[in-house]
A and B are shown apart, each in its own frame.
Chain A
Amino acid sequence: MALPTEPGSVQEPFPISRVTDRYLIFDVNAIMHARSSHNITGVLTGTIPNLSQQNAFLGIPLQLMPEEARVLVEKGAAYIVDDVNIHDEGFMHMDREARLKFLQEMDEAAWQKSREAQRKAEERTKKALEQKGLEKKSETPESAGLTSDTGAANLFDSPCTPAPPLSRPEKKVDPHFITPTTSYPPLAQPPQTAQPLPVVPRQYPLFRYLHSKGYFMMPGLRFGCHYSAYPGDPLRFHSHFLATGMDWDEEFDWQQIIAGGRLGTRVKKAYLIGGEDPAKKGVEGKESVRVFSIEWAGM
């Protein structure tokens, strides 16, 4: 079935689906686009429904942190879609013609797929036989004997032709059944409607600041912080910072800072704390977020 978009041609803003307060991207091209153009990696969460522990290779959808969704929306690169509503309206009120048309398209695609699969299988057989030097003979005496004896070899053949001996019997093609994995199509691209901005935790200003500096953020749970910040794509770089966000007047204990600094130094990173100064918030040309990098002094 057709992809919602062609590779490399993602139209901005692209939709982010909100399902039970989770922000998901279902379009693989939008996922690639978010990663390469907006430094947003998210986490792949798709798995096999009845084998959910098989999680070594997760696929789409990509789940975004609320911060990631918010940053994309604020940049104007994406918009939020209330997926439950869209599905309800789209599918419950789909007219009969559109439904039949879609089913027919599905059938068509299924047949095409199975014919393609069969053609490939035949090619493989032919190639293998050629490699072994065994050209497929049009008829062998043994099989001819078999057919005349029982007819069991022609189980899949059409019953009306009594096995013309010189042509290979054509196998019956079973259709592959396609389970549609996206809703667009059959639904048209969801419209942009006024949706509330994603609700973000209080460390969001730090996220926005680091993102604006070109860092990639991954969830920081593994290092006991809010985000681990990578200077480039996490597939190519080690992270530089273990970032923890705070309110400007939120009290912290030095014990926390020392623990973070020590852990960070241990894993060759710097511990980073930061937050937004409300006095500088919204002031033109001034960065309202201030951060401090912390490392062990080694003495």
Chain B
Amino acid sequence: MKPPPRPSPLQSLVADPAQLSTSHLPSLQSLALQVHHNLQYQHSWSALRVHSHSPLTNELLPRPLISGLPTKRLYVHPDEQIELLKQADRRRKAEDKDGGGNNVLDIRTEPEREWLLPTRLGEEWTLHRLSDVFDTISLVPPSAEPEDSASDRPANPWRTTKRVVLATVSPDSTVVYYIVQDELVKPRQN
């Protein structure tokens, strides 16, 4: 008889009992691990961390949340975008004056840490539950290590509303990401 196929790395990761704690249901923890895995290996995020307790109140979160640092900036507020474009334009003009410019609009943004909410596609949610999640998170996720270089950077003054990246896992293990923001935030000019 043929031996059963070896489990995939993802399957062995989410099934590893050493990864599980007693704070949340195993299904929610394995969901968080699956999204964590996807972020790490498919989207090359760094400084990923699974949170079981709120950084604000230190209470148990409704479900494990993830925080991490994308490779490039995930979200630019439209007003910030206008400001960045103006700055880039000023730099380009200054370089042109010096004669060394290559006439490229160089927009500089630093990546920012993001909150992630892992969910499954079939789950039923309510505004109440979503609101509870937003109440437990801080504006910017705490950094992975206290002496992280990211924490030395000044806070982005444009980041004024809480936001969470909604990570929805479908049964075929596709993960889609949507940005959910607290309150009215006008759309990006993409």
B74 within 8 Å of A (CB atoms)? yes
> A-B contact count, CB below 8 Å?
105
From 27 to 67 in chain B, residues with beta carbon under 8 angstroms from any chain A beta carbon are 43
Q: A254-B168, A258-B176, A261-B178 are in contact. Are A293 and B184 (CB under 8 A)?
A: yes
From 21 to 37 in chain A, residues with beta carbon under 8 angstroms from any chain B beta carbon are none
Chain A, 263-286, contact with B by CB distance < 8 Å: what is the 0/1 string? 011001110111101000000000
Q: Which residue of B lies closest to A243 (CB)?
A: B184
Chain B, 146-189, contact with A by CB distance < 8 Å: what is the 0/1 string? 00000000000000000001101000000011111111111111
Report whether A254 and B126 are in contact in the complex, using a CB–CB cutoff of 8 Å: no
Residues of B within 8 A of A297 (CB): 74-75, 165, 177-179
Residues of A within 8 A of B190 (CB): 265, 268, 298
Residues of A within 8 A of B134 (CB): 292
B123 within 8 Å of A (CB atoms)? yes
Could you say which of B75, B125, B131, B178 has the most chain A C-beta atoms within 10 Å of its C-beta? B178
B122 within 8 Å of A (CB atoms)? yes
B130 within 8 Å of A (CB atoms)? yes
CA distance A250 to B186 in the complex (A): 25
Residues of B within 8 A of A115 (CB): none
Q: Is the interface of B mostly helix, strand, loop or mixed?
A: mixed
Report the contact-size class of chain A (Cβ under 8 Å from the partner): 35 or more
A157 within 8 Å of B (CB atoms)? no
Q: Is the interface of A mostly helix, strand, loop or mixed?
A: mixed
Q: A264-B187, A293-B181 are in contact. Are A251 and B126 (CB under 8 A)?
A: yes
A249 within 8 Å of B (CB atoms)? yes
Instruction: For the complex of A and B, list the 4 residue pairs with the smallest distance between their C-beta atoms, beginning with the closest.
Output: A297-B177, A251-B124, A270-B187, A293-B185
CA distance A273 to B128 in the complex (A): 12
With A254-B123, A293-B180 known, 18 other A-B pairs at CB within 8 A are A213-B184, A241-B184, A248-B126, A251-B124, A251-B125, A254-B121, A257-B178, A270-B185, A272-B184, A273-B127, A274-B127, A275-B127, A290-B183, A292-B127, A294-B179, A297-B74, A297-B75, A299-B74
Q: How far is the CB of A71 from chain B (nearest CB, A)?
A: 17
6 examples of A-B residue contacts, CB within 8 angstroms: A248-B128, A253-B124, A254-B119, A254-B166, A258-B176, A261-B178
| Interchain CB contact (< 8 A) of B187 among A240, A273, A274, A277 | A240
Q: How far is the CB of B178 from chain A (nearest CB, A)?
A: 5
Residues of B within 8 A of A252 (CB): 124-126
Residues of B within 8 A of A250 (CB): 126-127
Residues of B within 8 A of A292 (CB): 127, 130, 134, 180-183
Q: A231-B186, A299-B43 are in contact. Are A294 and B178 (CB under 8 A)?
A: yes
Report whether B168 and A258 are in contact in the complex, using a CB–CB cutoff of 8 Å: yes
CA distance A45 to B186 in the complex (A): 31
| Interchain CB contact (< 8 A) of B179 among A210, A254, A274, A296 | A296
Q: How far is the CB of A286 from chain B (nearest CB, A)?
A: 13
